[in-house]
Chains A and B, each alone.
Chain A
Amino acid sequence: VQLVQSGVAVKKPGESLKISCKASGYTFANYWIAWVRQMPGSGLEWMGIIAPRDSDTRYGPSFQGQVTISVDKSLTTAYLQWDTLKASDTAMYYCARPRSELGVDGFDIWGQGTVVTVSS
C-alpha cells in the first residue's frame, strides 16, 4: 500500500499547477484521500478531503475556492490543482489515506510530499 506523489514543481506567480498522488496496493475507491499543506518551518494544515467512489469533496475554509481537489478512478490518482498560483502557495503538500475503509480515522498512509515553489 503506498501513495506516490509527483515531483518538485517550480512555477511563477499567476501560473497554474496540478500535482498528483498515485495510489497502489489497495481498492482506491474505498478510502478517502486528504491533502495537507506544510509551509516552510510551519505546522500541518488541513486542506481538504475527497471520496474517490463519488468525488464527494470537502474543503477547509482557508482553501475553499483557492484549490481544486479531484480524482481519476481509472488511474487511481488524486489531484490538487491551482488555477492562479501565488508566492504564498510555496509549501510542501502531502496526500494521506485513513486507516479505515469507507470512514475516516487516523491517517496511516502518506505520500512522500511534493515541494511547490512559486517565485518570480
Chain B
Amino acid sequence: DIQMTQSPSSLSASVGDKVTITCQASQDISDFLNWYQQKPGKAPKLLIFEASNLEVGVSSRFSGSGSGTHFILTINSLQPDDSATYFCQQFENLPFSFGPGTKVEIK
C-alpha cells in the first residue's frame, strides 16, 4: 500500500499570509493526488484534483503543485474561512489512502 505523509501536522498563520502544506507519497504516484478541506462536523470538500487542477467553485487562492512523490498545497492570502484541516489523497493504487491531515488555524 502507498503511505502518505503530510507536514506540518498543524500551523497557525495570520490573515493575509501565504501558507504551504506538503504531502509526500511512499512511491511514485505521478499526478494522481487530490487535496481536500474539512471543517469540524462536515464532510470533506474537494479543492484540487490531479495535483494541480482547481475544482469548480473553489477560490483561486488555493493552488496545487508537484508530481511523483512530492506535492504542495498553497493557500494565498489566508482568510478566516480557511481555518480547517487539509488532507491529501492518492488515487494511483488501491487503497486510495489519505494523508494524516494538516490543521490550519488563524492567529
Contacts and interface: CB of A to CB of B under 8 A. Distances in A.
A105 B95 contact: no
B98 to A, nearest CB: 4
Contacts of A14: none
Contacts of B38: 44
Nearest to A105: B49
Interface string A86-120: 00000000101001000011111011110000000
Contact residues of B: prevailing secondary structure: loop
Contacts of A59: 95
A99 B56 CA distance: 11
Given A105-B49, A105-B50, A49 B43 contact: no
Interface residues of A, number: 24
Contacts of A72: none
B79 interface: no
Interface of A: 34, 36, 43-46, 48-49, 58-61, 94, 96, 99, 104-108, 110-113
8 nearest CB pairs, A to B: A106-B49, A60-B95, A110-B43, A44-B98, A106-B34, A46-B95, A108-B46, A43-B101
Contacts of A44: 36, 38, 44, 87, 89, 98, 101
Contacts of B48: 106
Interface string B4-23: 00000000000000000000
A90 B93 CA distance: 27
A53 B1 CA distance: 26
A105 B91 CA distance: 7
Nearest to B50: A105
A43 B98 contact: yes
B94 A107 contact: no
B93 to A, nearest CB: 11
Contacts of B97: 46
Interface in B81-107: 85, 87, 89, 91, 94-101
A28 B50 CA distance: 23
28 contacts: A43-B100, A43-B101, A44-B38, A44-B44, A44-B89, A44-B101, A45-B98, A49-B94, A58-B94, A58-B95, A60-B94, A60-B95, A96-B44, A99-B55, A105-B34, A105-B49, A105-B91, A106-B34, A106-B46, A106-B48, A106-B49, A106-B50, A106-B91, A107-B36, A107-B44, A107-B46, A107-B89, A108-B46
